[in-house]
Amino acid sequence: MYALRKNKLTPKLFLWSVLLVLMAGFAGALQAQTPPASAATATPATAAPTPTLLAFDIEIQAPPVIQAYLQRHIELQRYRELGDLDASELARLLTAAERNVQDLLGTLGYFSPAIQLAAHDTPQNPKAARRVVITVQPGEPVKISDVTIEFTGPISQNDATQDQRTAIRATWALRQGMTFTQADWDGAKTQALRLLIGQRYPTGQILSSRADIDPDTKTARLSVTLDSGPAYRLGLMQISGTQRYDTQLVTRLARLPPGTDYSQNQMLEAQQRLSDSGFFDAVFVSLDTSGDPMAAPVLVQLREAKLQKIVLGVGASTDGGARLSMEHLHNKVPGIGWRAASKLSLDRATRSLGTELTAPPDDTGWRWVTSVLFQNQVAGSAEVNSQRYRAGRTQIGERIDRNYYLQYDRAKVSGAGVPATADALSANYAWTQRNFDLLPFPTSGYGLGAELGGGVTLGSSKEPYLRAQVRWLALWPLAGEQAGMRASMRSGRLATRAEGGMVLARTGADLPSTQLFLTGGDTSVRGYAYRSIGSELANGEIAAGRYLAVGSVEWQRPIVINDKLTDWESAVFLDAGAVADKPSALRAQVGVGAGVRWKSPVGPLQIDLAYGVATQRVRLHLSVGFTF
């Protein structure tokens, strides 16, 4: 027997009691977390968990394309890990799976398939207790026998919209005789609706659509009715977000005059022009369809760019090697309100420093431009230090750019056999048309550029001269329109390029080398170094020449993986170019090769390996972006 005594609890005794309780709890926690000796010394083999046995695995016996499609989408895949699945439950799942397979085959255009499902025990399989075998004989796919596209609303009553109705019918993807699939059916309707709402009718919709499938005759009759809704015309702009710039600048850049028919492409182009102007960091252009369709307000929401910014750049190319650049932009120079853009660029072949001042556009889109450029450049066998001063006007349009200007050139050449220093003053006009379908990743279209100038040399003897240059690029899809967009993209395209130039002057005239021609490099004649093709002098040196001729043909073809188009393309090409001081002296230097293209976030990335026939050397060429 123990006798209990009542003792007085002093503060000192209380503190000791609390301390003992905490120590006991801490020791218990450690003991709970410490594994027993047997577990601590167990081998990895005894500690590893037993692998989970699947309820069944699936084997699909079907043509390869259908087999891959069913493997990805069949719902039966979701139940494979149910380890306690008994035979009756599996039988119910197989019944549902047969209906699921029929539905999936229907989306591919097979509406009369022969389907067999069977389950077998697999005691020798360490991963699954059973095997479900699905045998599919798809039969003949359903073919489209008839397509009817009808219109309701103002589009059906307006003769001016005949071209739009014709375009919707002409570009309908599912034509008579083609195999019906659900994906193509949905895509065809989406494309038709896009063409409807893209011009005049932004509130258009699909009123009804129907695909009547006859499994006996294996045919499909398709019908779609498009409701246009009212035609819309542009009203006044409602501009928000401007503080530093007036609304007149926005109106001139957007070029969306009130009273014109609504066009989604024109709205997107206006949004792109405002964004590319550099005055704004964020631009959103939309149409308010809640009011009068004949004067629908154009909503322009803007966030202005900073007044000044400095951009530091690091890059590389096979033409110039590693490159460093620094740009300074002032969007509104005090006193004149013009934009000033200055840039310093350094690479292996070129060192340059330049500044350009650009005025805001007037009502017709023309603006004044003045610039100065100092440059040190490797040109053929020589090194050229040059200066260029320019002043004129420029207009950037929807498809056509125009530019006329006065220009002073001064070039000092270090190579032997060419004039040491030459000066010239010229008046010039440049014209460029771009008619490509998609930028910056065009698949068809063409571009044409021409420059014409006349001037006089300013050396000891003043000699007149005439300078002309023409550039051309065309992309030719290899599949006709009747083959559909998908077939056209898979077939690829031919890219043909040509460039020519000439300078007419007296034989002894001292012309600045910057007014003459050189070629070779990533964007001209691949297989040769940058600007290494020129006029060969008597001492073997290469100098800029008075005549230029360049041509190229390239086959570009998308790379398809698992029957899917990727962002990569393959290319094979043949380039040829020549430079000389006389047309009769032009001798083509040829480059052949192959490469790949990638649709990168910053534009097309081009990687080419080319062989220069004249130099008998292989060169790697890298370039980014599409420019013309």
Is the pLDDT reported for residue 238 higher than 60? Answer: yes
Rounded Cα gap, residues 72 and 78, in angstroms: 11
Is the pLDDT reported for residue 34 higher than 50? Answer: no
Quote the pLDDT of residue 349.
Answer: 87
Is the pLDDT reported for residue 250 higher than 70? Answer: yes
User: Whole-number mean pLDDT of the chain?
Assistant: 87
Quote the pLDDT of residue 12.
Answer: 42
Q: pLDDT for 587-597, tens place per residue?
A: 999 999 999 99
Q: pLDDT for 75-120, tens place per residue?
A: 988 888 876 778 888 888 888 998 999 889 888 988 888 999 988 8
Question: What pLDDT band is residue 540 in, cutting at 50, 70 and 90?
Answer: confident
35-49, 159-173, 259-273: which range is least confident on average? 35-49
Quote the pLDDT of residue 51.
Answer: 55
Contact 307, 244 (CB under 8 A): yes
460-469, 520-529, 560-569: which range is least confident on average? 560-569
Q: pLDDT for 161-217, tens place per residue?
A: 888 999 999 889 888 999 999 989 999 999 999 999 999 999 999 999 999 999 889
The segment with the largest mean pLDDT, out of 307-311, 376-380, 481-485, is 307-311
**pTM of the model as a whole:** 0.69
Question: What pLDDT band is residue 131 in, cutting at 50, 70 and 90?
Answer: confident
Query: Which residue has 């350009």 as its token pair?
Result: 356
Greatest distance between any 2 Cα atoms in the chain: 134
Quote the pLDDT of residue 450.
Answer: 98
Question: What pLDDT band is residue 562 in, cutting at 50, 70 and 90?
Answer: confident
Question: What pLDDT band is residue 25 in, cutting at 50, 70 and 90?
Answer: very low
Work out the average pLDDT over 124-139: 86
- The H-or-E segment that residue 235 falls in is strand 234-240
Rounded Cα gap, residues 234 and 260, in angstroms: 6
Which domains, from first to last, does the chain contain? Answer: 57-137 (3.10.20.310), 143-227 (3.10.20.310), 234-304 (3.10.20.310), 400-624 (2.40.160.50)
Is the pLDDT reported for residue 615 higher than 90? Answer: yes
Using DSSP's 3-state secondary structure scheme, residue 120 falls into strand
Q: pLDDT for 267-279, tens place per residue?
A: 998 998 899 888 9
Higher pLDDT, 381 or 201: 201
Q: pLDDT for 412-461, tens place per residue?
A: 998 655 658 999 999 999 999 999 988 888 989 999 999 999 999 998 88
How many Cβ atoms sit within 10 Å of the Cβ of residue 174? Answer: 21
Taking Cα atoms as reference points, which of 176, 75, 178, 58 lies closest to residue 118? 58
Work out the average pLDDT over 552-574: 91
Contact 229, 200 (CB under 8 A): no
Rounded Cα gap, residues 274 and 280, in angstroms: 7
Rounded Cα gap, residues 413 and 508, in angstroms: 16
| First-to-final CA distance of the chain | 107
- Copy the structure tokens of residue 28: 């218990």
Q: pLDDT for 201-222, tens place per residue?
A: 999 999 999 999 998 899 999 9
Work out the average pLDDT over 291-308: 94
Rounded Cα gap, residues 423 and 463, in angstroms: 11
Taking Cα atoms as reference points, which of 401, 450, 405 lies closest to residue 428? 405
254-268, 294-308, 403-417, 567-581: which range is least confident on average? 403-417
248-257 long-range CB contacts below 8 Å, 24 or more apart?
249/279, 249/360, 249/361, 250/274, 250/300, 250/302, 252/360, 252/361, 252/362, 252/363, 252/365, 253/277, 253/279, 253/361, 254/285, 254/298, 254/300, 255/365, 255/398, 256/285, 256/298
Question: Amino acid identity, residue 567?
Answer: D
Work out the average pLDDT over 133-139: 91
Quote the pLDDT of residue 471.
Answer: 98
Signed CA dihedral, 291, 296, 297, 303: sign only: positive
How many helices (H) and strands (E) the chain has is answered by 10, 27
* β-bridge partners, 515: none
Is the pLDDT reported for residue 331 higher than 70? Answer: yes
| Alpha helices (runs of H) in 221-328, residue ranges in sequence order | 247-254, 264-276
Quote the pLDDT of residue 278.
Answer: 86
| CB burial readout 229-267, b (16+ within 10 A) else e | bbbbebbebebeebeebeeebbbbbbbbeeeeebbeebb
Work out the average pLDDT over 572-598: 96
What is the percent of the chain where pLDDT is above 90? 60
| Alpha helices (runs of H) in 451-593, residue ranges in sequence order | 484-491
What is the percent of the chain where pLDDT is above 70? 89
How many Cβ atoms sit within 10 Å of the Cβ of residue 393? Answer: 14
Quote the pLDDT of residue 190.
Answer: 94
Work out the average pLDDT over 565-588: 95
Rounded Cα gap, residues 344 and 355, in angstroms: 9
DSSP string spanning 567-628?
A: EEEEEEEEEEEEEESSGGG---EEEEEEEEEEEETTEEEEEEEEEETTTTEEEEEEEES---
Higher pLDDT, 602 or 400: 400
Quote the pLDDT of residue 52.
Answer: 63
Work out the average pLDDT over 395-422: 86
Taking Cα atoms as reference points, which of 209, 146, 139, 150 lies closest to residue 177? 146
Using DSSP's 3-state secondary structure scheme, residue 111 falls into coil
Query: If 0-12 CB within 10 Å is exposed, 13-18 middle and 19+ buried, where does residue 424 land?
Result: buried
Rounded Cα gap, residues 94 and 273, in angstroms: 58
